[in-house]
Amino acid sequence: MSNRQQIRYRDAGVNIDEADRAVSSIKKLARKTFTRGVLTDIGSFGAAYQLGRMKKPVLISSADGVGTKLKVAFLTGRHDTVGEDLVNHCVNDIAVQGAVPLFFLDYFAVGKLEASIAASVVTGIARGCRQNECALIGGETAEMPGMYQNGEYDLAGFIVGAAERSELLTGQQIKRGDLLLALPSTGLHTNGYSLARRLLFEQAGYSPRTVLAEIGANLGDALLAVHRSYLKPIRALVEARRVHGAAHITGGGITDNTPRMLPNGLAASINTQAWKIPPIFEVLRRIGNIPEDDYRRTFNLGVGMILAVPLRGLSKTEALLRTAGESPFLIGSVIEHRPRRPRVEYT
């Protein structure tokens, strides 16, 4: 009989029993998001989804993460919002192309799995899926000892949506003279957190519990404000055929994201007096003395979505957005792109 020591998977840092507890919680949360198209239960090797009735369906997909916003979740011990951030970010990325979300899959990777934290993260994912009528039909929970520091994890999401070919938003309808309507953000959303954390926590010496009068909340809550979904207002305009293009303002800000919806030969003129930049961004600018260009390309500055809409019928367009619960404001217009000039001109 061998006297060699027996080494189990748990001795290498992987706890299968804890994984089973996590998966059990995730199954319950995911089933509450199921829509009519879901054909398989959580736990299958692959997820099956039946497309609804569309004449000429086009599938649109996207994958993303929430970046170093996760570090704020680790600092505060609050894990129930980053999952919702993830879903909404992915939903917005396909909504700007005219798609409605069908299903979502997540990837949760951690060094040492704690079922309660995993369940908290997936609670946010499930909430985001329910709010966007999107089914959470699968994903992966990976325990990888040595890959992540204690108490930390990584999170990614994958979404598939569909659009009628005739309703695709390709930007090709945008023309000179179209107006640009902005929809407000709820904070930093999911971009600029590496700079924000350095400025607030390292340079200024604040903590997540610090309350700043100009913000009116502690920094943890302000930084964890959920990246909101713009699906409802975009769908209202798509169905009324009152939108020519849309840009989700994420990393790169207005400067880099607005041109992504514009055809060649066109540019955007942005009126910087059209809105008041929320206090959280001004606090960051003051602490870091951030150069103007960096400021505009790192943060959304209170603008989460820009919609290119026809000049004619503007009041009706704005009324549709207000009915969808929005507070739109006119931020600029589409102009001819002049040689050697930027695609976004600030006035």
Buried b / exposed e along 29-59 (16+ C-beta atoms within 10 A)? bbeebbbeebeeebeeeebebeeeeeeeebe
What pLDDT does 160 receive? 97
Q: Does position 25 have pLDDT exceeding 90, yes or no? A: no
Q: What are φ and ψ of residue 29, in 5° steps?
A: -70, -40
Does the pLDDT of residue 9 top 60, yes or no? no
Q: What is the share, in percent, of the chain residues with pLDDT greater than 70?
A: 95
* Domain extent listing, the chain: 9-167, 179-346
> What percent of the chain is predicted at pLDDT more than 90?
82
- pLDDT (0 to 100) of residue 275: 97
Four-way CATH pick for 179-346: 3.90.650.10, 2.30.110.10, 3.30.390.30, 3.90.1150.10: 3.90.650.10
7 vs 191, more confident: 191
25 is written with which tokens?
């919680």
Whole-Å CA distances, 98 to 58, 160, 313, 328: 10, 12, 20, 19
pLDDT computed for residue 202 by the predictor: 96
Give 37-77 pLDDT, tens digit per residue. 888 888 788 889 898 888 999 999 999 999 999 999 999 99
Range of weakest confidence among 28-42, 76-90, 217-231 = 28-42
Q: Which CATH number fits domain 9-167: 3.40.630.40, 3.20.20.70, 3.40.50.720, 3.30.1330.10?
A: 3.30.1330.10
The average pLDDT across 94-102 equals 97
Residues in the chain: 347
Of 10 and 60, the structure prediction assigns the larger pLDDT to 60
